Structure formats: C-alpha cells, structure tokens
C-alpha cells in the first residue's frame, strides 16, 4: 500500500540546517527560500509499495573501459515508475542510511513531478581516471570534442609525480584554451594538498575538487591558497555530509558539486543549490545513461550553469542500457529522460545472486523511507 514518505533529506528532519522538514501526515515539504516559515512548494511524493518497486526492477552489471574508483564494472538497479525509468545505484560499500537517499532520488524521479527545464541540453566535461599519460588519448577519445576535462588525482598507490604527468598530458591535448579541473576525492592531507596545488599550478587549473576530507581542512587550504586564484570545490563534503550546507556556511569552498542521486533527487538538489548561495557544478556517479538523464535534467533546471557538468561519463562505460547512450555530442548531452533497451537489459543482467542482493538492499532502504527515518539519521557520514 502506498503512503507518503518524508523526502530524502541529508541530515534528517531534525538536523540543524536541514532543508526539508516533515509535514503533517508524514508528507514532507522542502524549506525553500520562498516560504515565510521556510516551507514551500513541492507536493509530497507518494511512496510506492515495495512490490510496485520490484515489479519491473532490473539489475545490470556494466563493464567499464578502465578501472575507476577501484571498480572494473558498475552494478545498477533500474526501476520503472509512471514517469519512466530511474536508477538506484549507490556504490556497493555504502550503508543503508546513505543508500536510502539514492532510493528516494530514484522514486522522486520516476514517481514524482518533473522539475521545469530551462535548457534542452547541457555542456559536459570529460572525466579521466587516474591512468598513466600514455592512456589519456584512449580514454578521452570517447568523449568527443569537449573543452573541459576532470582529471582524477591522489589515487591510492600513486604519487604526485603521477598526477603531474597525467595533468600535463591533458593540458597538451587540450591546448591553452581547454579547462582542467582535478578531483582528489578527499585523499590528500592539508600539506599534501598545498604541495599538489603548487605542483599543478603551471597547468592552469579551473578548480581543485575535494582536495581534503574535512570541512576544516578545506577552509584552511582555501586560506593558504588565497593568493593563488585556485578555487576549491566541495563534493563529498556536500553529498556525504549530514548537513550539505555546512561547507558553504563555513566559507570552506568556492563552489559546490551537486549530484541528484546522493542528495535525494532533482528537487532536493535544486533546493540545496538555491540555499547554498555558491556556484554549483552538476555531476554524476558513474551512472548508466538512465541515471545520467536524471543529472542532465537537474542541470537543465538550474537558473545558472556556469560550469560544464560531469555528466559525460557514459563514455567511461564499455556497455550501457540504452540503445542510444547519453554520450556527449559537441561537448553537450541532451537533458532527456532515457529509456533502457529491453534487449540490453537482458544482455547485461546481473548474476542471480547479485540481483537478489540488490532486491534485499532495495527492501531495507524502502523500509527506512517508509518508517520516516530517511537517510543519514544515524549521524554524520564520513566526508
């Protein structure tokens, strides 16, 4: 039986700075800037029953072109609601509290209302895993003509010299007009990040994404780099934090990376962007084209889109679920809802035991949403 569930809220209903609060009857209302009491606008999203979620759910295993984030293949569960297909694909190591935000996003996407689009396509960057320089061309070619590349750095088992060599190869490929941003996924310590910023400065970076893990470190690094004109972007400090706005309030970042799935959906991410008061970059999490479509529709709904979006990552997949994957064309992807191809769903169906694992995960996350516990109520997730 369907009921109303409190909207996915990083931080939980009672968390300081929580954007969304439960309303009467276990519905929710985002506390946007338009309401006198902080209340707004979006209607409650009905929580489908578990049976409804499972009715057409498919689990797929998609191979990657290159190892990324420590994995060689990506598992995802696809759900079908009244508005079409959506993707539930939290990384395997995420606990149920964190994963339930991704489920809320998938439900909001396929069962909730669409955000009004302001553009029909969005500019994207290429994303380069932490590969040696000789593999740069092979991995960037599938993105086509893009003006911006995000380079992964600070990979475990590598050193700063590896990062410098990779970034140098990308700068050579792009020429002086190209934009390069680097993403350390919080892996550097403060001094290490400062050394890296200096070593990479000759390559004229657009920004440094999540160089360190904590908000305090980001704030200190930003102060140390004040004269370098190297903006700091926060990613994990937004999407994995109990309070996604804490980093903005602390003055610890120049811009925020926002992702629809971990923030509980397109409308929740829009509310965070509005309240943060900082420029945002829309990105994704190595999703299939179905999940990337949700990100593209988030980017399409933002009032301003000053940075190219990290939504070109279908090019990192060696196989996808859509007959026409959401690959960049002339540096843009279409802001569409993407439908999977039944034949591809069959071809890439996950092994039976993996599908069972995902159904159990879905069930536990659904239970959290139905109980109103939502994501992150257990406290801070590691940043």
Pick between residue 194 and residue 209 the one whose CB is nearest to Mg ion.
209
Distance from C-alpha of 257 to C-alpha of 90, rounded to nearest angstrom: 17
In the annotation, is 259 catalytic? yes
* Position with the least CB separation from Mg ion: 235
Taking the complex as a whole, the smallest distance from the CB of residue 55 to Mg ion amounts, in Å, to 34
Q: Which of 108, 183, 206, 217 binds Mg ion (CB under 5 A)?
A: 183
Distance from C-alpha of 169 to C-alpha of 128, rounded to nearest angstrom: 11
- Residues with Cβ within 8 Å of 324's Cβ and at least 6 positions away in sequence, in order, are none
Q: Which position among 7, 152, 240, 366 bears the catalytic label?
A: 152
Pick between residue 235 and residue 287 the one whose CB is nearest to Mg ion.
235
Pick between residue 206 and residue 235 the one whose CB is nearest to Mg ion.
235
- Residues with Cβ within 8 Å of 79's Cβ and at least 6 positions away in sequence, in order, are 53, 56, 57, 85, 86, 87, 88, 106, 107, 110
For 160, other C-beta atoms within 10 Å of its C-beta total 16
Q: Which position among 259, 348, 361, 366 bears the catalytic label?
A: 259
Taking the complex as a whole, the smallest distance from the CB of residue 96 to Mg ion amounts, in Å, to 23
- Residues with Cβ within 8 Å of 198's Cβ and at least 6 positions away in sequence, in order, are none
Q: Is 75 in the site for Mg ion (CB under 5 A)?
A: no
Taking the complex as a whole, the smallest distance from the CB of residue 235 to Mg ion amounts, in Å, to 4
Measure CA 350 to chain center: 23
Q: What is the DSSP letter of 77?
A: E
Q: Which of 75, 109, 235, 243 binds Mg ion (CB under 5 A)?
A: 235
Distance from C-alpha of 381 to C-alpha of 264, rounded to nearest angstrom: 15
Pick between residue 209 and residue 308 the one whose CB is nearest to Mg ion.
209
Taking the complex as a whole, the smallest distance from the CB of residue 40 to Mg ion amounts, in Å, to 29
Pick between residue 209 and residue 320 the one whose CB is nearest to Mg ion.
209
Taking the complex as a whole, the smallest distance from the CB of residue 120 to Mg ion amounts, in Å, to 26
Taking the complex as a whole, the smallest distance from the CB of residue 183 to Mg ion amounts, in Å, to 4
Give the CA angle between residues 180, 284, 188 to the nearest 5°: 55
Distance from C-alpha of 109 to C-alpha of 291, rounded to nearest angstrom: 10
Which residues 266-285 are close enough to bind Mg ion by CB under 5 A?
Answer: none
Measured CA to CA in angstroms, residue 249 lies from 141, 205, 234, 254, 275 at distances of 39, 25, 12, 11, 10
Which residues 97-136 are close enough to bind Mg ion by CB under 5 A?
Answer: none
In the annotation, is 240 catalytic? no
Single out the segment in contact with Mg ion by CB under 5 A; choices: 70-78, 177-185, 260-268, 333-341: 177-185
Pick between residue 35 and residue 189 the one whose CB is nearest to Mg ion.
189
Q: What is the DSSP letter of 372?
A: T
Q: And the tokens for 23?
A: 């309303």
3-4 and 46-47 beta bridge pairing: antiparallel
Please provide residue 141's backbone torsions phi and psi, each rounded to the nearest 5 degrees.
Answer: -55, -45
Binding track, positions 191-230, relative to Mg ion; x by CB under 5 A: ------------------x---------------------
Chain residues that interact with Mg ion, rule: CB under 5 A: 183, 209, 235
Active site residues: 152, 259
């Amino acid at each position: 039986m369907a009921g109303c569930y409190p909207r996915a809220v990083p931080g939980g209903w009672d968390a300081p700075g929580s954007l969304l609060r439960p309303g009467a009857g276990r519905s929710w209302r985002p506390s946007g800037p338009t309401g006198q009491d902080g209340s707004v606008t979006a209607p409650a999203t009905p929580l489908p029953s578990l049976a409804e979620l499972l009715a057409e759910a498919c689990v797929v295993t998609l191979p990657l072109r290159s190892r990324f984030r420590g994995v060689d293949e990506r598992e995802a569960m696809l759900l079908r609601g009244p508005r079409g297909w959506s993707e539930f694909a939290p990384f395997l190591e995420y606990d149920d509290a964190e994963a339930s935000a991704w489920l809320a996003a998938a439900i909001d996407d396929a069962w909730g209302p669409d955000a009004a689009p302001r553009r029909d396509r969005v500019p994207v960057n290429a994303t380069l895993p932490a590969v040696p320089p000789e593999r740069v061309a092979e991995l960037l070619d599938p993105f086509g003509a893009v003006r911006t590349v995000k380079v992964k750095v600070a990979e475990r088992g590598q050193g700063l010299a590896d990062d410098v060599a990779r970034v140098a190869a990308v700068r050579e490929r792009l020429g002086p007009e190209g934009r390069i941003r680097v993403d350390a996924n919080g892996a550097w310590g403060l001094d290490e990040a400062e050394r890296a910023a200096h070593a990479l400065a000759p390559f004229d970076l657009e920004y440094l994404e999540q160089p360190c893990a904590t908000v305090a470190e980001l704030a200190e690094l930003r102060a140390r780099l004040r004269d370098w004109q190297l903006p700091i972007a926060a990613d994990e400090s937004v999407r994995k934090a109990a309070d996604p706005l804490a980093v903005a309030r602390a003055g610890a970042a120049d811009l925020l990376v926002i992702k629809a799935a971990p923030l509980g959906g397109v409308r929740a991410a829009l509310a965070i962007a509005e309240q943060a008061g900082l420029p945002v970059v829309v990105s994704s999490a190595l999703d299939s084209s179905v999940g990337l479509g949700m990100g593209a529709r988030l980017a399409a709904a933002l009032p301003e889109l000053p940075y190219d979006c990290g939504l070109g990552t279908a090019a990192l997949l060696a196989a996808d679920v859509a007959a026409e994957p959401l690959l960049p064309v002339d540096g843009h992807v279409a802001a569409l809802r993407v439908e999977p191809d039944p034949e591809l769903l069959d071809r890439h169906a996950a092994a039976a035991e993996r599908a069972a694992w995902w159904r159990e995960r879905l069930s536990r996350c659904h239970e959290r949403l139905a109980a109103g516990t939502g994501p992150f109520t257990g406290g801070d997730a590691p940043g």
